[in-house]
Chains A and B, each alone.
Chain A
Amino acid sequence: MNMSRRFFITLTGAAGIAWEHVLAGTPEISPNYKITDHWWAMLIDVDKCIGCGNCVRACAAENNVPEGFFRTWIERYQDDEHIQDPLVDSPNGGMNGFLPRAAGTGLTGNGVKEFFVPKLCNHCADSPCTQVCPVGATFTTPDGVVLIDEKYCLGCRYCVQACPYGCRYIHPEKNVAQKCTLCYHRITKGLTTACCEACPTGSRQLADLKNPNDPIHEFMKKHSVQVLKPQMATGAKVYYANLDGSVR
């Protein structure tokens, strides 16, 4: 290969800039993805969730989630007319599904019902975690996803305290805050999230609120939806259909 010195030096510089870009962890966005054309959310139909744990496993595999921590998890609720007193469990975040409750450990009576509630970061429009981060390492993207710059995070844990939903954790080796990214590396390439893809019943649906053709608009028109802890006024964007009043 015939290469002049001038061309070699130019090539080295370009390679250096490209490498720095890779090292900086800049999200790889597909060329035709317009960041301002989207406003991401998620729709969860509680009635469709069967608690299989596929979503939790898919998330852990896709995002290298450390053992014992969860970017998404499933809670099993059991309640009756005393909705302030639900019986809740989430063994290993529901990763391996749920065994039937041992005899005598559950609620009894005619009004008892049982259901599963998948949880994840609510990608709040007015997120308290973004507000409290002392250096702005947690930020909201123009397309509505709350992300963390791991190369900037101090590991002060203030955001973990500020999240009302228990979605954040500190990575035990990296010592930085982590949480659900709504699979940003996937959705900006036109894919859905790992959890939505793995859900066998379609309980979880990625939604783009800025896309007029997104089925979420039709769904919301016809169904009653709710967000978790609405009293927190965080602008949560994970919408739940058929959510029971006992869910925290």
Chain B
Amino acid sequence: MHLNFIYPNESELQWSILIVLYPFLTGLVAGAFILASLERVFQVAAVKPTYRLALLTALAFLLVAPLPLQLHLGHPERSLEMYLTPHRSSAMAMFGFVYLWYLMVVLLLEIWLDYRRDIVLLSRSSTGFLRVIYKIMTLGSDNISERSLHLDERVGWIITVIGIPSAFLLHGYVGFIFGSIKANPWWNSPLMPVVFIFSAMVSGIAAVMLLYMLLTKLRGFKIDIACVDTIAKYLFYIFIIDFSLEMLDLIHRIYEADESFRSLDFMVHTSLWIPHVIIQILLGTLVPIGILGATQVLPLAEHMRKKLYVIAGSLTMIGIFAMRWNVVIGGQLFSKSLLGYTTYTLHLGSREGLGTAIFLTILPLGILYVLVKLLPPWQHESLSLN
């Protein structure tokens, strides 16, 4: 094999770590929302303590999701053209509309309806600048009669029902952006959108589980173990589906062994060995599935289960990030000639460097902090009408 030729224009990698971050962030949004919908639509009462937190988490990450794309553009000042003159045959052109639909029609509306009673009460009890903020957030709707709240509940339920396929659309669409590129055999797969949806659910559920445990601990309250057990159970089931789909894709590629196989196989055994096989499949998938499986079948003590959930959740997050990395970066490490490879150098301080990526990962947590302060998600502290 002579695997040392790349097309002359391929020496530069096109999509950086910021494009890795984009599906990671939108995945968290979609996954967190699905978790919230478990309680609302599927009546899984045990996960109620995380319902509002999941919605706020989804919002915080959704607000940041377009930033890596914006920072990556060669001409960010022209990005509005995607809304004004979208090219209808482009999957990417639909991003703006899917994003706006999800933000405005699903997430903001659902949060507003769920919090409307609290917002009205807070606008009455708070003072100064906060009062103005809450007044604005009521959008002039301060009727919190029983009939009105009942109506909120009904409409909120309908929006959640609409929101589930919307969450699938949001992240399935991200998978479609990669899966529909026939020029790239590493990406080109009809399974890609489905794998993205399930991995999104895995990462979002794990993130909310970790955030719930962390925030409850920080606030000095007791973690609702029934809630965390239920979340871990769903995480385990969905993780198995996700892993099965990824393995189906892998086995299909190996068995089919088309013209790209030798080139991709070599890449997986060399430059992608650590991020793909070791980090994504072994540490980020098999180990957490094993841990979650153990918590399902072994009679473990509560404190042990909590510790295992934290370990499994953290490894899951690492594994899903590695999956995004291996899709985006891995898909650019080989030449489209299938005769050679290139490398990706991650800079620290550049516009698309590690520093920016870390900032964009932390930023949603900062936004979440503000949202939690403004709209406390803790049900037992919900404001009383008296």
CB of A162 within 8 A of chain B?
Answer: yes
| B window 320-337: CB within 8 A of A | 332, 335-337
Q: Are B337 and A88 in contact (CB under 8 A)?
A: yes
Q: Is A163 an interface residue (CB 8 A)?
A: yes
B1 within 8 A of A: yes
Name 17 A/B residue pairs within 8 A (Cβ), A-sorted.
A68-B11, A86-B339, A88-B339, A92-B8, A119-B7, A132-B91, A134-B92, A136-B85, A153-B74, A156-B69, A163-B183, A165-B7, A166-B10, A168-B9, A176-B74, A248-B338, A248-B339
| A70 touching B9 in the complex, CB below 8 Å, given contacts A88-B2, A134-B87, A135-B86 | yes
| SS of B interface (majority) | loop
User: Among residues 1 to 36 in chain B, which have CB atoms less than 8 Å away from a CB atom of chain A?
Assistant: 1-2, 5-12, 14-15
1/0 per position for B323-357, CB-CB distance to A under 8 A?
A: 00000000010011111000000000000000000
Q: A88 to B339, alpha carbons, bound, how many Å? A: 8
CA distance A105 to B108 in the complex (A): 63
A94 — nearest CB in chain B belongs to which residue? B8
Chain A residues in 8 Å Cβ range of B339: 86, 88, 248
Q: Is B75 an interface residue (CB 8 A)?
A: yes
Nearest neighbor of A135 in chain B, beta-carbon distance: B81
Q: Give the CA-CA distance A82 to B8 in the complex, in Å.
A: 24
Q: Is the CB of A156 within 8 A of B182?
A: no
Bound-state Cα–Cα, A160 to B73, Å:
13
Q: A89-B5, A156-B92 are in contact. Are A232 and B183 (CB under 8 A)?
A: yes
Set of chain B residues within 8 Å of A157, measured between Cβ atoms: 14-15, 74
Q: Which residues of A contact B7 (CB under 8 A)?
A: 73, 90, 119, 165-166
Within 8 A of B (CB), among A151-198: 152-158, 160-170, 174-176
Within 8 A of B (CB), among A31-68: 68
Q: Which residue of B lies closest to A163 (CB)?
A: B183
Contacts of B92 in A (CB 8 A): 132, 134, 156, 158
Q: Are B181 and A166 in touch, CB under 8 angstroms?
A: no
Name the B residues within 8 Å of A69 (CB-CB): 8-9
CB distance from A57 to the nearest CB of B (A): 14
How many angstroms from the CA of A87 to the CA of B339 in the assembled complex? 9
Q: How far is the CA of A127 from the CA of B359 in the complex (A)?
A: 37
Q: Which residues of A contact B1 (CB under 8 A)?
A: 85
Confirm or deny: A242 has a beta carbon within 8 angstroms of a beta carbon on chain B.
no
The answer to the question of B314 belonging to the interface, with a C-beta cut-off of 8 Å to chain A, is: no
B73 neighbours in A (Cβ, 8 Å)? 154-156
Residue A128 CB within 8 A of the other chain = yes
- Check if A131 is an interface residue, CB within 8 A of chain B: yes
State the CA gap A58–B95 with chains docked (Å): 40
Smallest Cβ-Cβ distance to B187: which chain A residue:
A161
Query: What's the least CB distance linking A18 to chain B, in Å?
Result: 25
- Lowest 3 CB-CB distances: which A-B pairs, in order? A155-B74, A166-B7, A175-B74
Report if B72 contacts A (CB, 8 A).
yes
Residue of B nearest to A136 (CB): B87
CA of A163 to CA of B85, assembled, Å? 23
Give every chain B residue within 8 A of A238 (Cβ-Cβ): none
Whether, in the assembled complex, A209 has its beta carbon less than 8 Å from a beta carbon of chain B, the answer is no
Among the interface residues A163, A166, A167, which one has the most CB atoms of the partner chain B within 10 A? Answer: A166
Interface of A is mostly: loop
**Using Cβ atoms and an 8 Å threshold, which residues of chain B touch A161?**
14-15, 181, 183-184, 332
Q: Is the CB of A154 within 8 A of B79?
A: yes
Among B8, B69, B332, residue most surrounded by chain A Cβ atoms (within 10 Å): B8
- Give residues 82-116 of A contacting B (CB, 8 Å): 84-90, 92-93
**Distance, CA A130 to CA B92, complexed state (A):** 12
Taken together as a complex, chains A and B put the C-alpha atoms of A153 and B12 apart, in Å, by 19
Is A199 part of the contact surface with B, judged by Cβ < 8 Å? no
Q: Closest residue of chain B to A77, judged by CB? A: B5
- Assess whether A146 is interfacial by the CB under 8 Å rule: no
Which residues of chain A are within 8 angstroms of B93 by Cβ–Cβ distance? 134-135
Which residue of the partner chain, among A131, A133, A154, contacts B78 with CB atoms under 8 Å?
Answer: A154
A135 to B82, CA, bound (A): 6
Query: In the complex, what residue of chain A is closest to B85 when comparing beta carbons?
Result: A135
B89 interface residue, CB < 8 Å from A?
A: yes
Closest A residue, CB atoms, query B2: A87
Inter-chain contacts of A248 with B (CB < 8 A):
336-339
Give CA–CA (A156, B70) in the complex, Å: 9
B90 at the interface (CB under 8 A from A): yes
Q: Which of B9, B75, B90, B183 has the most CB of A within 10 A?
A: B9
A-B contacts besides A69-B9, A155-B75, A165-B7, 10 pairs, CB < 8 Å: A90-B5, A134-B93, A135-B78, A135-B85, A135-B93, A154-B78, A158-B90, A162-B181, A166-B9, A166-B337
- Cα-based distance from A167 to B332 in the complex (angstroms): 15
Q: Which residue of A lies closest to B15 (CB)?
A: A157
Most buried by B among A92, A132, A134: A134
Contact B181 A134 (CB under 8 A): no
Chain A residue nearest in CB terms to B90: A134
> What separation, in Å, do the CA atoms of A132 and B82 have in the docked complex?
12
Q: Which residue of B lies closest to A89 (CB)?
A: B5
A156–B8 touching, CB < 8 Å: no
- Say how far B238's CB is from chain A's closest CB, in angstroms: 29
- Per the bound structure, the CA–CA distance linking A161 and B91 in Å amounts to 13
Closest partner residue, chain B, to A95 (CB atom)? B8
Bound together, the chains give a CA A28 to CA B217 distance in angstroms of 69
CA distance A153 to B332 in the complex (A): 22
Hey, which chain B residues are within 8 Å of A176, CB to CB? 74-75
CB of B5 within 8 A of CB of A166, answer no
